Amino acid sequence: MDFKNKIILAPMAGVTDYSFRKIARLQGADLCVSEMVSAKAIYYNDKKTATLIYTKGDDTPYGIQIFGHEPEIMKSASYLLSRGLYNPEKIDTPSGILEPLPSYIDINMGCPVKKIVNAGDGSALLKNPKLCKEIISACVEGSCLPVTVKIRAGWDESSINCVEIAKIAEQSGASAICVHGRTREQMYEPYANWDYIKMVKSAVKIPVIANGDIFTGSDAERILDHTGADSLMVGRGALGNPFIFGEIRAIFDKKPYTPPTIFEKIEVARKQVCSMVLEKGERVAIAEARKHLSWYLKGEKGSASVRNLVNQATTLEEINNIIDNYLETI
């Protein structure tokens, strides 16, 4: 698995399901990552977790991100996922394994959400470099696929240790490391400090993936110029705007880029929602799709009232009627 010169869709809980990853790929993303999943849930063969990593053969290359703080549990999850052995439905396949297999396993050491860090997971691990080493080593040992690590700059401004953790990751056998240029305490404000990513790039030889405040193609160009990183990962910048991958691709290929019209945006949004309904069923899909549609419509002329209506819709027919009525007014 090559982690250089890639435009990557970041793992985002409740966002990067199969349908959204498919749209991101069509728009130019090279690599996509699942929503983060609990290693403990994989270990105990939890059925609900299967929906979070659901994929199909057109979703490659594809990484699965796991979180947890117990090395042996993380090792077991890496072992099962990398071999296609996590099978809560006990489905029989000709090969005996579930396919398609992921291309790599990613360890979450950066999630800042209170529920995650209070359990000792995500960015809470940055406070314990020894445990980080044990977890990464365990996952590398358990997995038959490459293992990567996603971190933040540190827990807070007084404990910036991204370079230390990156070196540990490299020494423990990680194939690449992704650095978000904020501490856990900063959450998503103020601006990400790309200097931290630059420091990591200078300290390790494995590929470094830059993450944080990439909202335009020019942001992507600047973060790579500033940090020297090997690849970049787009998170919030892709919400309602998977077109950012095409914009970045155009800059990299030195080609002109034309932003999508509102009609083109709506067409892509509808494809995503239809895919969600097909994969998850209407009730679940529409409940999840509301936020995506609101993101697609954000900033468009006269869209505030439409977003309110979308957030009350319960069926695909209602969604289509709301959007059709809106398009007739513009």
Task: State the Cα–Cα distance between residues 45 and 68, nearest whole angstrom.
Answer: 15
Asked whether residue 217 falls in the same domain as residue 301, the answer is no
Angle formed at CA 108 by CA 227 and CA 3, multiple of 5 degrees: 45
Tell me the β-bridge partners of 7.
Answer: 232
Asked whether residue 186 falls in the same domain as residue 290, the answer is no
- Note the pLDDT of residue 330: 82
Can you give the CATH number for the domain in which 311 is found?
1.10.1200
- Note the pLDDT of residue 280: 95
Q: What is the CA radius of gyration of the chain?
A: 20
Cα-to-chain-centroid distance, residue 79: 21
- Note the pLDDT of residue 144: 98
On the question of a cis peptide bond just before residue 242, with omega within 30 degrees of 0, the verdict is no
2 Cβ neighbours under 8 A, 6+ residues apart: none
Asked whether residue 182 falls in the same domain as residue 308, the answer is no
List the domain range (segments joined by +) for residue 306: 262-327
Is 270 a member of any domain?
yes
**DSSP code of residue 100:** S
Domain count, the chain: 2
Asked whether residue 244 falls in the same domain as residue 275, the answer is no
Is 140 a member of any domain?
yes
Task: State the Cα–Cα distance between residues 98 and 88, nearest whole angstrom.
Answer: 11
Asked whether residue 237 falls in the same domain as residue 185, the answer is yes
Task: State the Cα–Cα distance between residues 197 and 211, nearest whole angstrom.
Answer: 8
Asked whether residue 223 falls in the same domain as residue 313, the answer is no
Residue environment code for 16-35, b if the CB has 16+ CB neighbours within 10 A, otherwise e: bbbbbbbbbbebbbbbbbbb
227, 252, 277 — which closes off a domain?
252
Asked whether residue 161 falls in the same domain as residue 22, the answer is yes
Tell me the β-bridge partners of 201.
Answer: none
Asked whether residue 246 falls in the same domain as residue 169, the answer is yes
Q: Is 178 a catalytic residue?
A: no
Task: State the Cα–Cα distance between residues 139 and 319, nearest whole angstrom.
Answer: 43
Asked whether residue 168 falls in the same domain as residue 219, the answer is yes
* Alpha helices, H only, 3-159: 18-27, 39-43, 71-82, 114-118, 129-142
111, 132, 139, 162: the active-site residue: 111
**pLDDT tens for each residue of the chain, 330 residues long:** 899 999 999 999 999 999 999 999 999 999 999 999 999 999 999 999 999 999 998 999 999 999 999 999 999 999 999 999 998 887 777 776 778 899 999 999 999 999 999 999 999 999 999 999 999 999 999 999 999 999 999 999 999 999 999 999 999 999 999 999 999 999 998 899 999 999 999 999 999 999 999 999 999 999 999 999 999 999 999 999 999 999 999 999 999 999 999 999 999 999 999 999 999 999 999 999 999 999 999 999 888 999 999 999 999 999 999 999 999 988
Can you give the CATH number for the domain in which 157 is found?
3.20.20.70
Long-range contacts of 218-225 (CB under 8 A, 24+ apart): 218/251, 220/7, 220/248, 220/251, 221/248, 221/251, 223/194, 223/197
Asked whether residue 186 falls in the same domain as residue 322, the answer is no
Is 2 a member of any domain?
no
Other CB atoms within 10 Å distance of the CB of residue 267: 11
Is 173 a member of any domain?
yes
Is 257 a member of any domain?
no
Provide the whole-model pTM. 0.95
222, 252, 282 — which closes off a domain?
252
Q: Is the dihedral of CA 12, 13, 15, 21 positive or negative?
A: positive
Report whether 194 contacts 225 (CB < 8 A): no
User: What does the H/E/C string look like for 45-83?
Assistant: CCCHHHHHCCCCCCCCCEEEEEECCCHHHHHHHHHHHHC
Give the three-state DSSP class for 233: strand
Start-to-end C-alpha separation, the chain? 46
Is 110 a member of any domain?
yes
Asked whether residue 153 falls in the same domain as residue 94, the answer is yes
Is 160 a member of any domain?
yes
Q: Calculate the alpha carbon distances from 6 to 37, 154, 229, 289, 301 in Å.
A: 23, 25, 10, 27, 34
Task: State the Cα–Cα distance between residues 319 and 303, nearest whole angstrom.
Answer: 14
Q: Calculate the alpha carbon distances from 149 to 137, 172, 178 in Å.
A: 11, 11, 6
- Note the pLDDT of residue 302: 86
192, 220, 252 — which closes off a domain?
252
Is 106 a member of any domain?
yes
Asked whether residue 94 falls in the same domain as residue 225, the answer is yes
Report whether 101 contacts 82 (CB < 8 A): yes
- Note the pLDDT of residue 150: 98
